[in-house]
Structure 1
Amino acid sequence: MERNYSKKFTPTVLLKAHGSAMSAKAFNVAAVASGLLAEDGRPSSKHPTERRRFLKLTPAGLSYGVNETDEHGTITARWREDTFSQVLDLIGGA
């Protein structure tokens, strides 16, 4: 199994580093539309009838980042620094 040790960041950090005027929210909407992110959820620990929603990388998105899981089971998509320009090209955010 090939491992990639590229640093991983949130869209906010990488958009700024790439000089993009796109907001993180607009990036996420475009990444969902492009099939790189998908909405998921888990039961809320405080409100059992509610779900905590989050975005996670799809199998296609995993080529460009990783899904990190916290102690509560919430997933955060982290994007690889070395492939982020390709992601911007895919979603039309360059």
Structure 2
Amino acid sequence: MRLLLIEDDQILGNAIQTGLNASGNAVDWVEDAESGEHALRAEEYDALILDLTLPGKDGLVLLSEIRQSGNQLPVLILTARDAIPDRVVTIQLILP
């Protein structure tokens, strides 16, 4: 699978990329929403792994923009956010 990882934490991003690569996946890792937007325009991905707390633009804003553009790419959310409103909004954006 070709995956895009948008994660700003160096340790976590490196661990995820290393683990997924070891499992036979091709992982492009970027550290902010703007770089993620560029990657999504430049490449075809099978899935997106998205952190919500990103520098520059919140991951939920990015996901909302992705969905508004008609892109139904599967998304796995990484977050420490646990408030119910965050979870509800996230689920609404993930589901087609």
Q: TM-score, normalised by structure 2?
A: 0.26
Larger fraction in strand? 1
Larger fraction in helix? 2
Q: TM-score, normalised by structure 1?
A: 0.26
